[in-house]
A and B are shown apart, each in its own frame.
Chain A
């Protein structure tokens, strides 16, 4: 029966201290690496435009993951186009906000005085009449309009690609977003340059071969078939090209997040 020698005790003490120190160092390193990796990821995401303007708050992480992953997956993809026979008859017209007196005056004049003003970070700010927009080569797409509520319809949309109008006014290279406004002052949205220059993003003035009915957004609405219907704002009167969404409303990118809805609606 011998007592453990002092030497042994000391060694045991030393080894346990060593172990805990080693553990401390590795855990510390792992934690630092983790935090810096997250930091680098956040920086990169910011740099490559993968962070939506409504990234704050408790749902911000989910929104950022959705926007970032879809930006990476769908950079050049085209929304599905349908056969003429798949067009919904009749096209459904959703509830619209009460039309203002200003709108009714323009409507009484056959929308001859309707103007789309384009400004912000552009070389040649301009104001377009509907006739001017119609004088550019007309494009068409048979795509689905899908509402966040759950319903949908397919129509042929006629219009001019937004990219064409942006080309005419000359967008500055540092531009990152296009903000677009309805004649209804509470209704405005924005999209990133990727969506703004996408070939299916239209300023639509026609539907199924005729004029775009007021119930469906006439005389002029944005068509953005890779996102839900609420991004396809009706009665467009103004476009502003910008490098930051901070100065618009509450800085969340559009009226939707201010009303509780996601800015990015590609889902």
Chain B
């Protein structure tokens, strides 16, 4: 991204073609016309190694999570919105509660509300598969075996642009999540995430 902070749509894109948009940052390559008078140091080698190693971690933990979720019924029990949740009234109450930063009651703390359920489903079944797909669609070797994976996205540069936006959305989700954990009580939320139990002694009584 820093070596070429220009994004395109279609198959190809380079310094001689018109970008869809440019990031307002200097580049780590001298030839890229960024408008800045200096070039950032090149960090592509190790960061690419790290990126692709991390991609394997995502794939393996994701698979483990999917399989265990299917076996334990986690997706149906905890993530699929309840029938009673699917009304505009419930929806607007949930949104209003969020906007007021209202803390959940003890009973509510035991399960996810409708907004949480929908956003988790979106992240797990849309954003993560899409970030892996758009990533693979940039691989010249992978698309040689499965050309349709890049063709339906509109080309290799389209895949790169989509990959950028999807990763940005995932990053935003992570940041919002971390902020909410701090707001909800860092210690109790971390304990709940690690042990799988709903939380503090207070909540359990």
A266 to B53: give the CA distance in the assembly, Å.
Answer: 14
**From DSSP, what is the main secondary structure of chain B's interface residues?**
helix
**Which residue of chain A lies nearest to B51 when distances are taken between CB atoms in the complex?**
A62
Q: How far is the CA of A88 from the CA of B11 in the complex (A)?
A: 10
Is B141 in contact with A144, judged by CB distance below 8 angstroms?
no
Contacts of B139 in A (CB 8 A): 70, 266-267
Query: Binding site of A, secondary structure by majority: helix, strand, loop or mixed?
Result: loop
Q: Is A261 an interface residue (CB 8 A)?
A: yes
A74 CB contact (under 8 Å) in B50, B52, B145, B150: B145
CB pair A152–B53 under 8 Å, yes or no, is no
Q: Does B30 belong to the interface (CB within 8 Å)? A: yes
Q: Is B45 an interface residue (CB 8 A)?
A: yes
Contact present for A62 and B49 (CB under 8 Å): yes
Contacts of B48 in A (CB 8 A): 148, 261-262
Query: Which of A79-87, A97-105, A172-180, A201-209 has 4 or more CB atoms under 8 Å from chain B?
Result: A79-87
Q: Which residues of A contact B145 (CB under 8 A)?
A: 73-74, 77
A152 to B11, CA, bound (A): 8
Instruction: State in angstroms the CA–CA spacing of A95 and B27 once bound together.
Output: 14
Q: Does A65 contact B (CB under 8 A)?
A: yes
The answer to the question of A227 belonging to the interface, with a C-beta cut-off of 8 Å to chain B, is yes
**One of B14-22, B61-69, B81-89 at the interface:** B14-22
Number of A-B contacts (CB under 8 A): 120
Chain B residue contacts of A94, Cβ below 8 A: 31
Which residues of chain B have C-beta atoms less than 8 A from A152's C-beta?
11-14, 156-157
Residue of chain A at shortest CB distance from B143: A80
* CB atoms of A153 and B141 under 8 A apart: no
From residue A258, how far is it (CB to closest CB) to chain B in Å? Answer: 10
Q: Is B79 an interface residue (CB 8 A)?
A: no
Smallest beta-carbon distance B25→chain A, Å:
13
A261 in contact with B44 (CB, 8 Å): yes
- B142 in the interface, Cβ–Cβ < 8 Å? yes
Contact residues on A (Cβ < 8 Å of other chain), bracket? 35 or more
The answer to whether the Cβ of A92 comes within 8 Å of any Cβ in the partner chain is: yes
Chain B residues whose C-beta falls within 8 Å of the C-beta of A79 in the assembled complex: 140, 144
- Closest residue of B by beta carbon distance from A86: B11
A150 part of interface (Cβ distance < 8 Å) = yes
From the candidates A153, A227, A259, A260, name the one contacting B140 in the complex (CB within 8 A): A227
B12 contacts A153, C-beta separation under 8 Å: yes
Is A4 interfacial (CB 8 A cutoff)?
Answer: no
Chain A interface residues toward B at CB < 8 A: 58-59, 61-63, 65-66, 70, 73-74, 77-80, 82, 86, 88, 90, 92, 94-95, 144, 146-154, 225-228, 259-262, 266-267
Chain B residues with CB under 8 Å of chain A are 1, 3-4, 6, 11-17, 29-31, 44-46, 48-50, 52-56, 138-145, 147, 150, 156-157, 160
Closest 4 CB pairs of A and B: A260-B45, A266-B141, A62-B53, A150-B4
